[in-house]
Amino acid sequence: MKHQKIINCLLISLALASVSCSRFRSIERSEDWRLKYEAGQKYFDNKDYYHTSILFEKILPIVRGLPEGEKVEFYLAYCQYYQKTYLLASNQFKIFYESYGRSQLAEEAYFMYAYSMYTASPDFELDQKSSIEAMNAMQNFLNQFPGSQFADKASEVVELCQQKLEKKEYINACQYLKLRYYQAAVVAFNNFRKGFPDSKFLEEAAYLKIEAQFKLAEQSILSKQLERYNSTVEFYKELIDSYPSSSFLKQAEPMYTASLNKINFLNRKKNKS
């Protein structure tokens, strides 16, 4: 009995789906663009973005320039967004903004142009070109619409993009150290500090710069050791000055002490020659 009820429910569902599909095909084949327009709106309201897209793409060449054309293009951009084709959506929102700059929907379209681009941006481990573009677009939005209802969300996106770029740069610097490219690591940690002066990673980066410089000095030829050990000492002093209670001081002290001993040894050797 229970199985029969399940079968009956499935048959009813299939029948309803068949009727719905037949109705859609009838609308799609119709020559009446207004019928397609009204049906597309209903599909959109029901979150059926696939069928909305099909109908609106068919009537777009007809309604472009008409009052309905504005809404059709705007809904099409959202259909692409909700179907997770974010780059297509971003481009469509941009086209809408450029075509309907005086529309009441222009502000939202500009925001969604930038937001769709942000949504399409990859995790921090990958290339962050799209994050940079999204951040710049969103900053332009804030400059153009400072009192926008989307301002808080736009500011959040800018901050999230900055965090992704920050983490990307920090991980890259750490990777140089891991791969034993010590000179490149020192440069990368210096650039990171300049590029992200408020980063939560600065303290650890200051310590890792000491480690990279110390290991660079250790593997250097004799003529460059004195200069590079001196730099290790300077980096250690920078860590103390910036973070006098740093948890990394205990790890940095042996490198500082070893560098001082090496400097004294190299200076004595230099004076004897």
Is the pLDDT assigned to residue 23 strictly greater than 90?
no
Which DSSP string corresponds to 205-234?
Answer: HHHHHHHHHHHHHHTS-HHHHHHHHHHHHH
176-213 confidence digits (pLDDT tens)? 999 999 999 999 999 999 999 999 999 999 999 999 99
The full set of domains in the chain, from first to last, is 180-273 (1.25.40.10)
What's the pLDDT score for residue 20?
52
236, two tokens: 């250690």
The pLDDT-based confidence of 33 (bands split at 50, 70, 90) is confident
Given a cut of 70, whether residue 264 has pLDDT beyond it is: yes
Q: Which of 84-98, 198-212, 258-272 has the lowest mean pLDDT?
A: 258-272
What's CA 41's distance to the chain center, in Å?
A: 32
Give me the chain's average pLDDT, please: 89
**11 has a pLDDT exceeding 50:** no
Taking the model in full, what pTM does it have?
0.78
* Contacts for 87 with CB less than 8 Å, ≥ 6 apart: 116, 117, 120
Residue 103 binned pLDDT confidence (cut-offs 50, 70, 90): very high
Q: What is the mean pLDDT of residues 11-15?
A: 39
Please name the residue ranges forming H helices in 83-128: 86-99, 106-120
Give the pLDDT of residue 30.
83
Question: Rounded to 5 degrees, what angle do the CA atoms 205, 121, 137 make?
Answer: 95
